Amino acid sequence: MPVYRLDGITPVIDPTAFVHPTAVLIGDVIIGPGCYVGPNASLRGDFGRLILEKGSNLQDNCVMHGFPDSDTVVEEDGHIGHGAVLHGCRIGRNALVGMNAVVMDAAHIGAESIVAAGSFVKAGFSCEPRSLVMGTPAVVKRTIGDDEVKWKSSTTAQYQQLTRRCLATLEECEALTAVEADRPRLKTGDIKPKGM
């Protein structure tokens, strides 16, 4: 994977984390234990520090960046959906940021909260734990219930398992030219999208 030292500061990746080979890490980036970083994620620690805490995931095409002297942090078990942008913000423990959402500078998303897909969280925004945050600009719509926290935690556990699967079995290969007659299916659990 492309990893770049900048001004003498080298990214750190815990050996139990998985960072996809197409992700890019620059400068002051710290990836904690059991984290997953997906394909084409960009972690530009060229101004501020970027931290993924234990068990968090940053999925495909996500961007993390920040202003000088800022920290952009995804706390333990944080879950960042495909294409999300985090800039100088803090995502609380076991919180979820949905696909293509943007969370701006000095925003703080409370623990076990959910930022809906496509939302825009303005700079300086803050919410209590277990908030459902949605809209452009995003506002708190309601409190998250126990069943929603359980669902979120189970999806994050799937990404933690994916980290272990990728470390153990992901390998670059040549594509087949035809589908095998007895092609197996992946056995990855029974997590379904919310509402299905």
Give residue-wise pLDDT tens across range 5-37: 999 999 999 999 999 999 999 999 999 999 999
- 190 pLDDT above the threshold of 90: no
The two structure tokens encoding residue 71: 């920290």
- 59 pLDDT above the threshold of 60: yes
Helix (H, G, I), strand (E, B) or coil at 6: strand
- 175 pLDDT above the threshold of 60: yes
CA atoms within 13 Å, Cβ hemisphere of 196: 5
**Cα 140 from Cα 163, distance rounded (Å):** 32
Residue that has been written with the tokens 């942090």 in this structure? 73
- Averaged pLDDT, 168-186: 93
The two structure tokens encoding residue 84: 């999300």
The 10s digit of each residue's pLDDT in 89-118 is 999 999 999 999 999 999 999 999 999 999
Q: How far apart are the first and last CA of the chain?
A: 36
- How many residues does the structure list for the chain? 196
**Cα 160 from Cα 158, distance rounded (Å):** 5
Q: What is the dihedral of CA 34, 104, 27, 16, to 10 degrees?
A: 0
Please choose, from the candidates 61, 96, 106, 98, the residue with its C-alpha nearest in 3D space to the C-alpha of residue 75. Answer: 96
Instruction: Return the exposure string of 130-153: e unless at least 16 CB atoms fall within 10 Å of the residue's CB, then b.
Output: bbbbbeeebebeeebeeebbebbe
The confidence score (pLDDT) of residue 196 equals 44
CATH numbers and ranges of domains, the chain: 1-141 (2.160.10.10)
Pairing of strands 96-97, 114-115: parallel
The 10s digit of each residue's pLDDT in 69-82 is 999 999 999 999 99
The 10s digit of each residue's pLDDT in 115-159 is 999 999 999 999 999 999 999 999 999 999 999 999 999 999 999
Pairing of strands 138-143, 131-135: antiparallel
The confidence score (pLDDT) of residue 195 equals 57
